[in-house]
Amino acid sequence: MRELYPPIKPYKQGKLQVSDLHAIHFEESGNPQGKPIVLLHGGPGGGCPAFYRQYFHPEKWRLIMFDQRGCGQSTPHAELRENTTWDLVDDIEKLREHLGIEKWVVFGGSWGSTLSLAYSQTYPERCKGLILRGIFMLRQKELRWFYQEGASYIFPDAWEEYLKPIPLAERDDMLTAYYKRLTSPDLQIRLEAARAWSIWEASTSRLFLDQQLMQIFGESEFADAFARIECHYFINKGFLESENQLLVNVDRIRNIPAVIVQGRYDVVCPMISAWELHLAWQEAEFIVVPDAGHSMSEAGIKSALIEATDRFANL
């Protein structure tokens, strides 16, 4: 099993004004002369923790990470206006141009896999390769599974906590009920919903419960952006043109070298989505980790991702 590379610090950080309203925080680490790779974090609204840098050989990669609109160190915090999938796709291109990069490898997991597919299908000529994990294509069956009924059968104890902010009369449409509270002008209502929403995801992300992850996800500042932005995207069906848009447009990226890493027991982004993408995209390498859930920190997923980044460094 592969282990993380030692911790490193970025050699460059900055803010890029991507609209009159939004500025995104970005950083570069590793080797300034290395192969460029951009990391698209999960959520949406998750931001980029420092340990993400440790998945990439520091001498081979020029790693670019950025906090998507409204989260992490990007501003304004938890902002929903001008915050759509296609705004983020445009931001990725603006960042690439700003950094003077012609082509790069794209790395993304969970929502980051969604955004990676959307970006690469829009700008295939800019992508040298794709490393994807925990496939999520923002279809209604995926959203219903996790936020309405499905995952609740596996984690009924955690589900009880997720239900608490929502009155019984509104529980037939949990997304709408949460959206109402996460956009409330009452900060107390908003934060109660945000913490419950975020802790639900943290409770189900790993094969074995991680109390530290639950604590991080329950912190008010993180939860506010994470829950608000996720729910905003999900209530708007990802701002996609059609239910199966990312699946239908696989032809646009068929010839880009790619690997898909999926945990067998991923409850947040169940394996059916990765499987259906695999069936439509046979050219992409498909790796199922037999003893893992959703988190990129789980041993098997971590090892598979590091092996993939090492191999793609030699593309």
* Phi and psi angles of residue 12, each rounded to the nearest 5 degrees, phi first: -155, 140
Type and span of the H or E element at 177: helix 174-182
Cβ pair 214, 199 in contact under 8 A: yes
Using CA atoms, how far apart are residues 204 and 81, in angstroms rounded to an integer? 29
Catalytic residues: 110, 266, 294
Using CA atoms, how far apart are residues 93 and 90, in angstroms rounded to an integer? 5
Query: How many Å from the N-terminal Cα to the C-terminal Cα in the chain?
Result: 22
Q: Strand 258-263 to strand 285-289: parallel, antiparallel, or no bridges (unpaired)?
A: parallel
Cβ pair 286, 260 in contact under 8 A: yes
Using CA atoms, how far apart are residues 116 and 106, in angstroms rounded to an integer? 7
Smallest CA-to-CA distance from 95 within 72, 64, 71 is with: 64
* Phi and psi angles of residue 47, each rounded to the nearest 5 degrees, phi first: 75, 180
Long-range CB pairs of 250-255, under 8 A, 24+ apart, other chains included: 250/121, 250/277, 250/280, 250/281, 252/120, 252/121, 252/124, 253/117, 253/120, 253/121, 253/124, 253/127, 253/130, 253/281, 254/281, 254/283, 255/283
Q: Which residues pair with 258 in a beta bridge?
A: 130
